Structure 1
């Protein structure tokens, strides 16, 4: 199925849009960006040069995904999320000359498959958001987030674990956690979470 692109969207000729994807009103997709199959890019969203977005992801309205961000499969980006790319932002050099592209090196945010970033959260590059992790709305992420971690606040700190359902996990035994929606069981080992054998 061909992608659906609204007439008001601005899509660079070198951008790749996967089949079944939908690009809505006033979204901009820059040069050499790669958007997988069945991705939704909402109204007014910005996808930077060379950004990669995996299939079945959702980029909600007015999100700003700056290069060189990389999003895995099935990633959720809430409304007005910002993925930055400049660790030391300045409009000018120390001598007050205007900065050009050659005066700084972009750094990216990597978001692993299944992860979700809540509305108006900001991820300060360079950071990696782990698989199936959840960043709460309004959080400011300044360091890497573990797989299945739930983080919130400014700066973001881990406040729990979440399962693939997106629901918070419940501790059923020492270092053993359950997703009450899917029934999946997770074991916490050395501060990291792994699904136990026999679960999906």
Structure 2
């Protein structure tokens, strides 16, 4: 027979209390890259062709040593359009058409991230951006402004098929390319998806697993499929909150 009140029989386990600790990535000092790294990158770029530079990057992509960490950063610098100091490039990061990338200071690339650049595209990554493991970027026309947090497994799409005409397979129809902008200080939740043409506002938060189909106002918190405003960040001095509230009707706030 099962007792009516299990609390009288089973020992109670105390729940671990939440705690607040200091951030690491967002507050760390960004040191200039050492001269030997810059010199090595310049030397490789002057001696090797692009195919060979890609091969050099691939040789160190899976390595777990300190030398591999350095060489991934050095090789990436030779491949991109521009790159600041203090980047961290974890293992198995895949870069396609990196010549279209502009990387700011202190950017973190998480393990197994995939950045699908395009020949005619542009991907701008601002200072202090943190990209979690297993993220995917369709970087046709994409900007991540400074100190954006990109949760593990989150994805962004920069294009979609038109679906016209109907008498050909869907994947053979034309592509519609639309810019995506993630404004400064925004945070994109784990396993969320941002669709083409979307702007996520300054300081906004996208909940885990959300599918963002429309613009997100500044300092809004959105969640769900499709994502809707569920509340606002409460903080004195934030600009744009009132304007964001007025625009929430268009976005479809669920109160």
For the aligned pair, the TM-score class normalised by the smaller chain equals 0.7 to 0.9
Note the C-alpha offset of 1:88: 2.8
1:45 is aligned to 113
Note the C-alpha offset of 1:93: 8.5
* Alignment partner of 1:83 is 2:156: yes
Note the C-alpha offset of 1:14: 3.5
Give the TM-score of the pair, scaled to structure 2. 0.59
Higher helix share: 2
Q: Cα RMSD between the aligned structures?
A: 3.0
1:191 is aligned to 245
Cα distance between partner residues in 1 of 2:218 and 2:193: 18
Deviations along 1:97-149, one digit per CA (max 9) or x if unpaired, are 9749xx42422321000000000000111100000000000000000000000
* Alpha-carbon contact 2:143-2:182 (below 8 Å) kept: yes
* Alignment partner of 1:143 is 2:230: no
Which of the residues 24, 36, 42 maps onto 2:104?
36
Cα distance between partner residues in 2 of 1:59 and 1:190: 26
Instruction: Describe the shift of the 1:150–1:42 C-alpha distance in structure 2 as closer, same or farther (beyond 3 A).
Output: same
Which of the residues 189, 203, 208 maps onto 1:118?
189
Structure 1 unmatched runs, 5+:
163-168, 170-178, 194-200
1:95 is aligned to 168
* Alpha-carbon contact 2:218-2:244 (below 8 Å) kept: no
Deviations along 1:9-55, one digit per CA (max 9) or x if unpaired, are 58472343321111111112333211110010100112232211100
Superposed counterparts of 1:121-136, under 5 Å? 121-136=192-207
1:2 is aligned to 33
Note the C-alpha offset of 1:94: 4.4
Higher strand share: 1
Q: SS of the counterpart of 2:185?
A: coil
Decide which moves more: 137-146 or 25-34.
25-34
* Alpha-carbon contact 1:140-1:155 (below 8 Å) kept: yes
* Alpha-carbon contact 2:161-2:170 (below 8 Å) kept: no
Q: SS of the counterpart of 1:31?
A: helix
Cα distance between partner residues in 1 of 2:214 and 2:243: 20
Which structure exhibits the higher relative contact order, with contacts defined as CA atoms closer than 8 Å and separated by 6 or more residues?
A: 1
* Alpha-carbon contact 2:162-2:176 (below 8 Å) kept: no
Note the C-alpha offset of 1:83: 0.4
Larger Rg: 2
* Total equivalences in the alignment: 171
Q: SS of the counterpart of 2:79?
A: coil
1:21 is aligned to 87
* Alpha-carbon contact 1:51-1:65 (below 8 Å) kept: no
Cα distance between partner residues in 1 of 2:200 and 2:170: 35
Q: SS of the counterpart of 1:110?
A: strand
Cα distance between partner residues in 2 of 1:98 and 1:143: 23
